Amino acid sequence: MRRRTFIAGLGSAAAWPVVARAQQPARMRRIGVLMNLATDDPESLTRIAAFHQGLQEVGWNIGRNVQIDYRSGLGDADRYRRYAAELVALAPDVILATGGTTVKPLLQATRTVPIVFVQMIDPVGQGYVASLERPGGSVTGFMIVEFSISGKWPELLKQIAPSVTRVAVLRDPALGSGTSQFAVIQAVAASLRMEEVTPVDVRDVGETERAVAAFARGSNGGLIVTTSTLAQVHRELIITLAARHRLPAVYPFRYFVTGGGLISYGPDTIDQYRRAAGYVDRILKGEKPADLPVQMPTKYVTVLNLKTAKALGLTIPETLLATADEVIQ
């Protein structure tokens, strides 16, 4: 933060006590962060680094004029409630909420501390903001996808694996967004002559393993992974299951593919953390969340893993190779 310089006439300044002329230190500001992934998860570390970089670019230096407290819920409702209360008790100036499951417990703990969310789906439908243009309360931030984007996933699956006629959709049924994404996928899959669309619950690891194994006993199957905290938390298991059962799979985010998944289509999640730092800065400087519009992703990217495609015996269409934003060898 740029320090203000006070210039006074020499005559009057000479009469002031030394303590009055001394510059008062800037008040340390405090940011709380409620995360959905573990703080030592490689993806979390990348997100945190982007958020820190964004803060530094606008003059905030951690440990000098701003302090950040982190908590992680890992998709567990009780953890979210407990850690939301802990963060609010620390009296932060603003809270960064990552993922749709973090906002509700924070609002249960406070209606006055400003909240900036990232990776949110349908904040209006969930009642967190009055509208995207004028949130109207203590919450604003950055949406991750519109439901219509879910229709791209079965299209991409059919493009990369034309023989697929059956799809298992991994979702969290406790989330309204999971149900809505499934409905869009189901509608688009029918237009692609996919005969079967099966929901698979990702809330229980054992159940997920059994459901995917049962689905894989049939032929011409593929997977679609929707956006949910639990899918992110258990992404290594999901990627392993897809490889074990030789199921081509489409994922919502790049880091699934860098971790060994086949292909992804979704927004640049890291960019949201840089942009969120800008909103946090504006709130720390006096603006209100009610006046900061909810923003949509500015870029969607397709990422392809050629090594995984080769292991599955897939021949990648030249058009897909040409249009992919990133190809991992």
In this predicted structure, the answer to whether residue 19 has a pLDDT above a threshold of 70 is no
pLDDT band, very low/low/confident/very high, at 108 (cuts 50, 70, 90): very high
78 half-sphere exposure, CB direction, 13 A CA radius: 0
In this predicted structure, the answer to whether residue 11 has a pLDDT above a threshold of 60 is no
Average pLDDT in the chain: 90
**Mean per-residue pLDDT for 128-138?**
96
pLDDT band, very low/low/confident/very high, at 248 (cuts 50, 70, 90): very high
Encode pLDDT of 196-223 as tens digits: 999 999 988 999 999 999 999 999 999 9
**DSSP states of 59-108:** T--BTTTEEEEEEE-TT-HHHHHHHHHHHHHT--SEEEEESTTTHHHHHH
In this predicted structure, the answer to whether residue 21 has a pLDDT above a threshold of 80 is no
Coarse DSSP helix, strand, coil percentages of the chain, rounded to the nearest 5 percent: 40, 20, 40
**Mean per-residue pLDDT for 126-155?**
92
Residues 6+ apart with CB under 8 A from 193: 165
For the chain, what's the residue count? Answer: 329
Q: How far apart are CA 4 and CA 77, in angstroms?
A: 45
Q: Which residue in this structure is represented by tokens 């670019």?
A: 57
Percent of the chain having pLDDT more than 70?
92
CATH placement of domain 147-251: 3.40.50.2300
- Asked whether 280 and 116 are in contact (CB, 8 A), the reply is yes
Tell me, what's the pLDDT at 204? 87
Residues 6+ apart with CB under 8 A from 100: 117, 119, 120, 121, 126, 175, 177, 229
Encode pLDDT of 276-297 as tens digits: 999 999 999 999 999 999 999 8
Q: Where in the chain is the domain with CATH 3.40.50.2300?
A: 10-144+268-298, 147-251
Return the amino acid letter for 120: M
**DSSP states of 168-201:** EEEE-TTSHHHHHHHHHHHHHHHHTT--EEEEEE
CATH class of segment(s) 10-144+268-298: alpha beta
- DSSP letter at 110 equals -
Radius of gyration of the chain (CA): 23
The three-state (H, E, C) secondary structure of 125-159, written as one string: CCCCCCCCCCCCCCEEEEECCCHHHHHHHHHHHHH
Q: How far apart are CA 170 and CA 180, in angstroms?
A: 13
**Mean per-residue pLDDT for 237-249?**
97
Percent of the chain having pLDDT more than 90?
77
pLDDT band, very low/low/confident/very high, at 25 (cuts 50, 70, 90): low
Sheet holding 326-328, edge to edge: 196-201, 166-171, 221-225, 249-251, 263-267, 300-305, 326-328
Tell me, what's the pLDDT at 177? 76
| Stated pTM of the model | 0.84
Encode pLDDT of 161-200 as tens digits: 999 999 999 998 887 777 888 999 999 999 998 989 999 9
Tell me, what's the pLDDT at 31? 98
- Asked whether 70 and 35 are in contact (CB, 8 A), the reply is yes
In this predicted structure, the answer to whether residue 58 has a pLDDT above a threshold of 50 is yes
- Asked whether 87 and 49 are in contact (CB, 8 A), the reply is no
pLDDT band, very low/low/confident/very high, at 27 (cuts 50, 70, 90): confident
**Mean per-residue pLDDT for 5-13?**
35
